Amino acid sequence: MAVSLLWHRQDLRLRDHPALLGAIADGSVIPVYVLDDVGPGSHAIGSAQRWWLHHSLEQLDKAYRALGNRLILRRGRAEDILPTLAAETGATRVHALRHYEPWWQRAESELTARIETVLHDGNHLFNSRLLLNGSGERYRVFTPWFRKLLEHMPPPAPLAAPEHVPPPSIFPHGDRLDDWTLLPRRPDWSGGFNIWTPGEEGARAAFRAFLPKLGAYEDERNFPSRPGVSRLSPHIHFGEISPATLWHHAAKLEGEKARSFLSEIAWREHGLNLVDQFPDYATRNGRALFDRFPWRDGPEAEADIAAWARGLTGYPVVDAGMRELWQTGWMHNRVRMITASFLTKHLLIDWRRGEQWFWDTLLDADIGANAMNWQYVAGSGVDAPVFSRMMAPFLQSPKFEMADYIRTYVPELAHLPDDTIHMPHEYGCTPPGYPLPIIGHEAARARAMAAWDACRGQ
């Protein structure tokens, strides 16, 4: 019987996995995950995601064992490891789902030169390379891209998991997961991650728990104190549930009312659409004008970055968000926008510093979504609004009723009533141990606009 390798990347599931079914159709299957810390360069998997990856791989191996197979782990460059593994086992083909991260693109093209590789669609709603405007060009802006995408929706119906995954006659050697030391040890800072259940079953449970809230998503999604969003992002990033599964279940249940949620699922793919067109989008300004933006640097700027990262800026909503991120590996979208705007506009720090911090601390860190959103908020993105649009944290915080959210993550302020908690310094009730704002909003605004004028040569 022919033997194939099934190369898992950010598709750590058995359901709706066309590459897995393709490999089974060929004969015996050796499922393999390769940890590559070299190929992605500055975007090697970050510290928080290593925690998730450990648990997700554990779950995937368990699921394979229940179907008569097991997951083989290897470490190194996939384009070297997979041909070697094929030679060891007599495998003649690699099956894999298509991915658009620049390092996977490079690995795929080297791999296909060395061994027959079958790439399947299935980790995205649609192949964005086929979405072209009237001039035959790819889209850079979300709205027309989404309109075009909708012409191809719904995606193919999700496929069932196989009932058996034929194993090879002899399993090749694989690394021990524990030897990869993906989990933090000294110190173990992952205590707050116990709210998550990585793995395909965890993803399905999270989606089931969210479905009753789907109809109210549009109204609730901007209020971090309420349970209005799905918190599916790490599961989606690691491919523990497919976008087609989300689309079909959500649309079936809520029809037109699911649209807002589905458009967010599409935003993730738009991020990849941008990175696929601009492979250095996570490190290079989308608009060249920003190459001469006078971002701050030096010791004072470093001290401000540290205050931002540790949640000690004196802006309660910013501090709540940054502490939520540190404790739980996740942050609500509205607060991500506020904290990113604060770093780039109030503190005038290059968006790439924020992108890197998020990359290391987010459980859902995703090259497309992270780069696109940072560049969007900073104003440097190909699709971004002008730099002068600056979020006002002290207004955002009461507008989106964030008092309870602040109480959860900034316990120093927990005793304050709703009307003062958003800006305690204004009411003279900043408690000892909590900082005053590191810069006033108006002063920050004036400094940011002067920098913007300097950048434009005005």
Asked if residues 362 and 321 have their Cβ atoms less than 8 Å apart, the reply is no
Angstrom distances, CA of residue 87 to CA of 81, 106, 349: 10, 21, 49
Sole window of 20-28, 158-166, 309-317, 371-379 interacting with ligand FAD (rule: CB under 6 A): 371-379
Sole window of 177-185, 230-238, 282-290, 306-314 interacting with ligand FAD (rule: CB under 6 A): 230-238
| Distant-in-sequence, close-in-space partners of 443: CB < 8 Å, separation ≥ 6 | none
Task: Closer to ligand FAD by CB, 201 or 264: give it.
Answer: 264
Label residues 103-121 b or e (16+ Cβ within 10 Å = b). Answer: bbeebbebbeeebebebbe
What is the DSSP annotation of 229-258?
S---HHHHHTTSS-HHHHHHHHHHHHGGGG
Sole window of 299-307, 329-337, 411-419, 427-435 interacting with ligand FAD (rule: CB under 6 A): 329-337
Residues within window 330-349 making contact with ligand FAD, judged by CB under 6 A: 333, 336-337, 340
**Smallest distance from ligand FAD to CB 162, Å:** 26
Residues within window 168-227 making contact with ligand FAD, judged by CB under 6 A: 221
Residues within window 146-165 making contact with ligand FAD, judged by CB under 6 A: none
Task: Closer to ligand FAD by CB, 249 or 425: give it.
Answer: 249
Q: Of 16, 200, 324, 366, which one interacts with ligand FAD (CB under 6 A)?
A: 366
Sole window of 249-257, 308-316, 362-370, 391-399 interacting with ligand FAD (rule: CB under 6 A): 362-370
Task: Closer to ligand FAD by CB, 26 or 254: give it.
Answer: 254
Asked if residues 31 and 71 have their Cβ atoms less than 8 Å apart, the reply is yes
Q: Of 26, 108, 304, 364, which one interacts with ligand FAD (CB under 6 A)?
A: 364
The order of strands in the sheet holding 116-120 is 72-75, 28-35, 3-8, 93-97, 116-120
Residues within window 376-435 making contact with ligand FAD, judged by CB under 6 A: 377
Give the angle 330-333-336 at the CA atoms, nearest 5°. 75
Report the amino acid identity of residue 325: L
Residues within window 231-270 making contact with ligand FAD, judged by CB under 6 A: 231-233, 236-237, 264-265, 267-268
Contact code string over 437-456 relative to ligand FAD, x by CB under 6 A:
--------------------
SS3 label, residue 72: strand
Helix axis angle for 333-341 and 351-361, nearest 10°, is 140
Q: Of 362, 421, 444, 448, which one interacts with ligand FAD (CB under 6 A)?
A: 362
**Distance from chain centroid for Cα 268:** 8
Angstrom distances, CA of residue 265 to CA of 130, 250, 271: 18, 11, 11
Positions touching ligand FAD (CB under 6 A) are 221, 229-233, 236-237, 264-265, 267-268, 271, 333, 336-337, 340, 358, 362, 364-366, 369-370, 373-374, 377
